[in-house]
Amino acid sequence: MRRFCSPPLFTALKLLALSDEVVPFIYSGQIKARFNDVDLVIACGDLPYYYLEFVVSMLDVPLVYVHGNHDHRKQRMSNDRIATHAEGCVNIDGKVGTFKGLNIAGLGGSIRYRPDGVHQYTESQMWRRILRQTPQLIGQRLLSKPLDIFATHSPPFGIHDGDDRAHTGFRSFLKYLDLFQPKLMIHGHVHLYREKKQPVTQYNQTTIINIYPYRLISYSPHTGQFA
Ligand SMILES: [Zn+2]
pLDDT, tens digit (0-9, with 9 covering 90-100), for 74-113 = 888 888 888 889 999 999 999 999 999 999 999 999 999 9
**Could you read off the pLDDT of 129-178 as tens digits, one per residue?**
999 999 999 999 888 889 999 999 999 999 999 999 999 999 999 999 99
CA of 125 to the centre of ligand 1 (A): 17
**Could you read off the pLDDT of 21-50 as tens digits, one per residue?**
999 999 999 999 999 999 999 999 999 999
**Cα(76)–Cα(84) distance, rounded to whole angstroms?**
9
**Cα(138)–Cα(103) distance, rounded to whole angstroms?**
12
Confidence of residue 10 (pLDDT cuts 50, 70, 90): low
Would you say the C-alpha torsion 181, 93, 51, 168 has a positive or negative sign? negative
* 42, 149 contact by CB (below 8 A): yes
Domain 13-226 CATH class label: alpha beta
CA of 197 to the centre of ligand 1 (A): 16
CA of 119 to the centre of ligand 1 (A): 9
**Where do the domains of the chain lie?**
13-226
Would you say the C-alpha torsion 152, 158, 161, 164 has a positive or negative sign? positive
**Cα(37)–Cα(14) distance, rounded to whole angstroms?**
7
Question: In what side-by-side order are the strands of the sheet with 13-18?
Answer: 90-91, 63-65, 40-43, 13-18, 214-220, 225-226
